[in-house]
Amino acid sequence: MAINRPKGTQDHLPDGSPKLSLDTRASAFAFVRETARRVLERAGAQFTDTPLFEEAELVQRGVGGSTDIVRKEMFTVYYFGDHGGFILRPEGTAGLVRSYLQNGLKQLPAPLKLWTHGPMFRAENVQKGRLRQFHQVDYEVLGSADALVDAEAIALMTEVVQALGVRKVKVKLGSIGDPEDREAYNAYLRELFTPHLEALSDDSKDRLGRNPMRILDSKSAQDQALIAELGVRPMLDFLGEGARTHFVQVRRHLDAWGVNYEVDPSIVRGLDYYRRTAWELHHEGVGAKSALGGGGRYDGLAQELGSKEPVPGIGWAFGIERLLLALEAEGVPLPASPGPLLYVAAMDEANVGYAATLARSVRALARAEFAYRAMKPAAAFRDAERRGARFVALIGSQEVEQDSLSLKDLQTGQQVQVPTRDLQGFLGGYLGANPLTPDAPSQPTQENL
């Protein structure tokens, strides 16, 4: 029997594949990553990477023992003779902060801006936009508690979305206060929900003891009905002086920059490490319950992971698959995948090697392909067209003897005669005059800049 990929995972496929959708198109992932790279690196973020598996305790302590991620969704990694103490990372922040502490990155100029991308793993119920292996673009800033850093992080998130060409995005901004504010809020929630214990879902009965705020985030209709009925006061009402002032400052910066957002007084994030500023980006193409991305400040995380000194931090992550669903919903055109700039085919077996040498000789400059066997002209042009080639050179004994090529431009239909020794110069000149064509695959088209 054939073996299929595990549920909740996707293959990323080359362009032209049958059954291709935008969120399985490898070149679409590359487009998102490259667009994010451009925006984030211009703001000073440096690329960094951490292992796909980490000590389970990192996630238990970092993400938090009361979260769904830790309680229900962790993939445990076993290897022969091992105690099973590793997990596949469900998110990037805990690993990046561990890496920052372990590698002494504190010595680099602060605030230190890092970014990464890659697969994350959560054993969730699979549905549209909710996978077990999904991909994030992740941005983190360490070493500053300044509200200006929060505002810049949120603004950068909107800039990535804009650079991708996605328009209908809502930023929902809130604050979940300092730990003592949350304690006060949790006490309020406990008092409010305890008399209605029977009306809560089993999961939420459990949450009431561990972390009542998580009830507000429940996906159960039963819980949501009770929340509406009780008229629960939002977290924002419980902010202490410090968190309140910080929130006002963040908003002031965002207002000054014209970043659109709406205050969501009851924002609850699904991870425990957050403090103060917390936000999510939503898009109607992805569904109301699923965010395009989210983030927040996590000033206590480094100490949770063993740092003696506090290291303030803040960051966010987008789900790349969800960004692609948003692009699809808005019909945003993606840059076409460029085919080879040059395609060379020999018309007789004796010259197949010569054709290969020619194609290989221009690869420092551009993508070039060749036919692996002799072809008739009609078949060679058909093959070149299927591959999306721009220029085609057919090689017969005449071309070899005269050291001259006849290049056909498949876009204009024009034919040019080029001495073989000038091939590189000709293609170089073409690229110089057409900078947004084949050799720049990650450039977005003009309309989605």
Nearest to 374 by CA among 355, 357, 359: 355
Q: Pick the binder of ligand HAM from 114, 137, 250, 317 (CB under 6 A).
A: 317
Applying CB under 6 A, does 145 fall inside the site for ligand HAM?
Answer: no
If binding is defined by CB under 6 A, does position 114 make contact with ligand HAM?
no
Pair of tokens at residue 2: 């054939």
Q: Using CB under 6 A, pick the residue from 111, 143, 285, 295 that binds ligand HAM.
A: 295
- Figure out which of the listed residues 39, 40, 74, 131 binds ligand HAM, where binding follows CB under 6 A: 131
Question: Does 124 engage in binding with ligand HAM (CB under 6 A)?
Answer: yes
DSSP character for 292? S
Pair 390, 438: CB distance under 8 Å: yes
Return the residue matching tokens 């965002």.
254
Among 300, 315, 338, 444, binds ligand HAM (CB under 6 A): 315
Closer CB to ligand HAM, 46 or 194, in the complex: 46
Listed ranges 97-105, 132-140, 218-226, 363-371: which one lies at the site for ligand HAM (CB under 6 A): 132-140
Please state the closest distance from residue 337 (CB atom) to ligand HAM, in A.
Answer: 24
Please, which residues have CB within 8 angstroms of residue 351's CB and are 6 or more apart in sequence? 374, 395, 396, 397, 399, 400
Residue 291 C-beta: closest distance to ligand HAM, Å: 4
* Tokens at 292, concatenated: 């395009």
Which pair of structure tokens corresponds to residue 152? 């810049």
Q: How far apart are CA 304 and CA 306, in angstroms?
A: 6
Q: How far is the CB of 274 from ligand HAM (least distance, A)?
A: 7
Q: At what angle do helices 147-164 and 241-257 cross, to 10 degrees?
A: 40
444 contributes a contact to ligand HAM by CB under 6 A: no
Which one-letter amino acid corresponds to residue 125?
N
Q: Would you tell me how many other CB atoms lie within 10 Å of the CB of residue 422?
A: 14
Query: Does 111 engage in binding with ligand HAM (CB under 6 A)?
Result: no
Residue 124, number of CB atoms within 10 A of its CB = 16
Q: CB 377 → ligand HAM: shortest distance, Å?
A: 48
**Is 61 one of the binding residues for ligand HAM (CB under 6 A)?**
no
Residues that bind ligand HAM (CB under 6 A): 91-93, 122, 124, 129-131, 134, 136, 138, 140, 270-271, 291-296, 298, 315-319, 321-322
